[in-house]
Structure 1
Amino acid sequence: MPYFTKTYHPPGTPPGTLVERAAGAAGALSIRLVDYTDQDYLDKVVDHADECRPYLERDSITWIHFQGAIQAQALRNIGELFDLHALAMEDVMNSGQRPKVDEYEDQLFIVMAMLDVQAPHMKVDQVSVFIGPNYIISFHNGVHDPFDPLRKRLKKRSGRIRSLKADYLLYGIIDLIIDHGFPVLERFGEEIETLEDTLLAAPTRSTLGDIHRLRRELLLLRRMLWPHRDIINYLSRGDNALIGAGTLIYLRDCYDHSIQIMDLLENYRDMAASMHDVYLSSASYRLNDVMRVLTIIATIFIPLTFIAGIYGMNFENPDSPWAMPELGWYYGYPLVLGGMLLIVFGMLFYFRRKAWL
């Protein structure tokens, strides 16, 4: 099952080329404009990106968010409208990028991986963010808009988000993306507990498939979430003029959250690996248990088969001194059966005394 769609260019394609997305890759494109100061707040959905251009020239913080699938020509127009670098536009279009941060003349371009908490299974979406002196332009290729909680904070003026610059809004976006990992990892923890109970009770072949799927998903999470630490570490060093000194301490707190997520992820990976070993040990133990029972049954029937084979030859000749005298006994048959039963009970007693049963 593909967890994210990775698009790429054919070899030899010039840099900055935009390739059309496959149909149905995500939801329909919507454009959300948020413009605010300490006193004013505007939040609306616009039909065309050029409607947002005048707000960038105001003395306010402008956040333009593109949600859903975007076609190459529309993205090309957006890049020209807001003076975005062609290489960054290529990374926006090619979803599935490794999280990273690139620095341009008066912009920072950040790619992050966001976990979809509403999806029934583990799903990773790409979030691309441009930050300038007084604006943020973000792209999210998923179906659901994950930034509604942040807009509610902006609308209510909760905390200091309305009184600070665009770098603090960037911190809010990054923090929300990072914190999306906690509920997803909580689901992984519950699944690991269920698999552990199944392993101890009655593991089946499907249990092994669930363990392999869990390990594969955790490996993908590690590959997509591990670079977040490098991104936040780069931003929190304070080497870029777009990131103010007052925001650095909040970015360090966000860095701590990313460390917590990676610690949980590593613990779950170790637990998934140990569950695989437990399953193999349990399967080996059950196989050994079955083989022990079959070996005991076969061992019990070996002398019985020997006795039955001897008396099954039916060499009965009254004139021969080597004939079987037992064949002519009046109680020969019940005596042989009784001797077989004594052998069976004697062997069972011996096996139990040796703790083989």
Structure 2
Amino acid sequence: MQIDRHSQPQRPAKPTEEIEEDLFDYFYDQAGSVPGTLTIEADAQPSQIVLIDYNEAKVTRQVNLTPEACASYLDTDSVSWVDVLGLGSEDVLQGLGVVFKLHPLVLEDVVNVPQRPKVEDYGDQLVIITQMVMPKKKTDGFWIEQVSLVLGKHYLLTLQEEPERDCFKPVRRRIRQNKGIIRKFGADYLAYALWDAVIDGYFPVLEEYGDLIDELEDEVVINPTHKTLSKIYQIKRELLALRRAIWPQRDAISSLMRDKSSLISPEVQVYLRDCYDHAVQVIDIISTYRELASSLMDVYLSSVSNKMNEVMKLLTVISTIFIPLTFIAGVYGMNFNPQASPWNMPELNWYWGYPVCLLAMMAIALGLVYFFWRRGWFESFSKLKDD
């Protein structure tokens, strides 16, 4: 997802590689704009309407419907799920607003993405704004997009940014195969099932981040680089984006449980508790991973500091070995004439003076190396080489 402040609010479902600072901004209207104004992306996908009408006995599915064709399904005893894939057709969206009698502000929140997840009660309709995430298959990261649910007495209208992918396949399969109790309940249970699927979709994404953090822990300790620091920073930002997407949903579920709605039956209220628990679990996992990422930053700085200390230690050992050798070479490099005085370097006239000087320098160097080896300093150098 990416928000372009200079033109339109958002392009649909961008991968996390393109996440910038704009990701953390919600949609906002331009100053002085008329309430209910629809702002549609120029490259938004065309809207396609898919209708699934079911009861306990049968289920029917229709595609490529017009908004007017959905009107006959709104007042039936069966449950009608009107799924709108794509937000790029303004005429379709306006037609849905007329057929479903949507308030202009509802249609604005649905189309002008991203909105903060929330629940709004309009009496005969309940509007739920959620943020759906899905893991990418071939590369790291995730897709994120807004899903809007409009709950009526016998129908549920859902609007998605991206028509190619969502996390509702298990719900569709349960409806088609009549598994569980979904076809025994009304549209409120369907809304719960979809919302629960949205929240459960966070767990596969978080599993990937758990594995990535485990890999980074090894990398930070063994061979930290500047790329490691960039990875840690990117993980922290993406986890923050996930937290901003799920935290308001927990509050929305809590408000829906606290403020009773005539569109939510007491039986479904019980199931909302399970949905709330899942949201709390997601938030706890995200908070844990963010703390681990912050600790990785501290470990990275410690590893870099330790690595620098080992390098300085090696340079100190080398300098310590050559300091006495340099001293000897400096002393005998002075130009004093031994013929002028017996105190002016008589060693210069020795027959074996030069070999003795070299042997003395070698003995001092070897003695220092032996001393450092006995102290165990070279073991840390070998570990540094292996790293």
**TM-score of the pair, normalised by structure 1:** 0.93
Q: What residue in structure 1 maps to residue 134 of structure 2? A: 116
1:29, 1:309 → 2: CA distance? 86
> Does the 8 A contact of 1:38 with 1:163 survive in 2?
yes
* Identity in percent: 44
1:17, 1:154 → 2: CA distance? 36
Alignment equivalent of 1:77, drawn from 76, 91, 95? 95
Q: What residue in structure 2 maps to residue 161 of structure 1? A: 182
Query: Which whole-Å deviations, capped at 9, do the CAs of 1:129-172 have from their partners, x for residues lacking one?
Result: 10011111111112314322211111222121111111111110
Question: Could you tell me how far 1:111 is from its partner in structure 2?
Answer: 0.6
Q: What residue in structure 1 maps to residue 349 of structure 2? A: 328
Residue segments in structure 2 that go unaligned for 5+ positions in a row: 1-16, 379-387
Q: How does 1:140-179 map to 2 (within 5 A)?
A: 140-142=160-162, 143-179=164-200
**TM-score of the pair, normalised by structure 2:** 0.86
1:331, 1:30 → 2: CA distance? 100
Alignment equivalent of 2:340, drawn from 319, 340, 354? 319
2:288 is the counterpart of 1:267: yes
**One-letter amino acid of the structure 1 residue matched with residue 148 of structure 2:** S
Q: What residue in structure 2 maps to residue 95 of structure 1? A: 113
> Does the 8 A contact of 1:238 with 1:245 survive in 2?
no
2:159, 2:298 → 1: CA distance? 42
Q: What residue in structure 1 maps to residue 52 of structure 2? A: 34
Q: Which stretches of structure 1, 4 residues or more, deviate above 6 A after TM superposition?
A: none
2:258 is the counterpart of 1:242: no
Q: What residue in structure 2 maps to residue 65 of structure 1? A: 83
Alignment equivalent of 1:220, drawn from 241, 247, 250? 241
1:251, 1:45 → 2: CA distance? 30
2:64 is the counterpart of 1:46: yes
Compared CA separation, residues 71 and 313, structure 1 to 2 (3 A): farther
Secondary structure at 1:192's aligned position in 2? helix
Secondary structure at 2:179's aligned position in 1? coil
Q: What residue in structure 2 maps to residue 17 of structure 1? A: 37
Question: Could you tell me how far 1:221 is from its partner in structure 2?
Answer: 0.7
1:153, 1:280 → 2: CA distance? 50
Compared CA separation, residues 314 and 333, structure 1 to 2 (3 A): same
1:146, 1:69 → 2: CA distance? 18
Secondary structure at 1:252's aligned position in 2? helix
Output the aligned Cα RMSD: 2.0
- Using the TM superposition, name which of 309-318 and 173-182 deviates more: 309-318
Q: What residue in structure 2 maps to residue 2 of structure 1? A: 18
2:89, 2:18 → 1: CA distance? 22
Alignment equivalent of 2:156, drawn from 136, 149, 166? 136
Query: Which whole-Å deviations, capped at 9, do the CAs of 1:52-107 have from their partners, x for residues lacking one?
Result: 11111322211111112324443223212211111121111122222111111311
- Using the TM superposition, name which of 333-342 and 319-328 deviates more: 319-328
**One-letter amino acid of the structure 2 residue matched with residue 17 of structure 1:** T
Question: Could you tell me how far 1:353 is from its partner in structure 2?
Answer: 4.9
Secondary structure at 2:77's aligned position in 1? coil
Compared CA separation, residues 21 and 8, structure 1 to 2 (3 A): farther
1:301, 1:96 → 2: CA distance? 66
**One-letter amino acid of the structure 1 residue matched with residue 218 of structure 2:** D
Secondary structure at 2:87's aligned position in 1? coil
> Does the 8 A contact of 2:87 with 2:93 survive in 1?
no
Alignment equivalent of 1:205, drawn from 226, 232, 236? 226
Secondary structure at 2:159's aligned position in 1? strand
Query: Which whole-Å deviations, capped at 9, do the CAs of 1:224-250 have from their partners, x for residues lacking one?
Result: 111111111122236111110011111
1:147, 1:214 → 2: CA distance? 27
**One-letter amino acid of the structure 2 residue matched with residue 184 of structure 1:** V
Query: Which whole-Å deviations, capped at 9, do the CAs of 1:154-195 have from their partners, x for residues lacking one?
Result: 122212111111111111011100110111111111111111
1:48, 1:224 → 2: CA distance? 32
1:77, 1:91 → 2: CA distance? 16
1:77, 1:222 → 2: CA distance? 35
> Does the 8 A contact of 1:107 with 1:130 survive in 2?
yes
> Does the 8 A contact of 1:63 with 1:137 survive in 2?
yes
1:300, 1:186 → 2: CA distance? 52
2:126 is the counterpart of 1:126: no
2:125 is the counterpart of 1:104: no
Q: What residue in structure 2 maps to residue 345 of structure 1? A: 366
Alignment equivalent of 1:306, drawn from 327, 343, 348? 327
Compared CA separation, residues 228 and 7, structure 1 to 2 (3 A): closer
Query: Which whole-Å deviations, capped at 9, do the CAs of 1:102-129 have from their partners, x for residues lacking one?
Result: 1113111111111123453222111111
Secondary structure at 1:110's aligned position in 2? strand
Question: Could you tell me how far 1:317 is from its partner in structure 2?
Answer: 5.0
> Does the 8 A contact of 2:51 with 2:65 survive in 1?
no
**One-letter amino acid of the structure 1 residue matched with residue 70 of structure 2:** C
Count of residue correspondences: 355
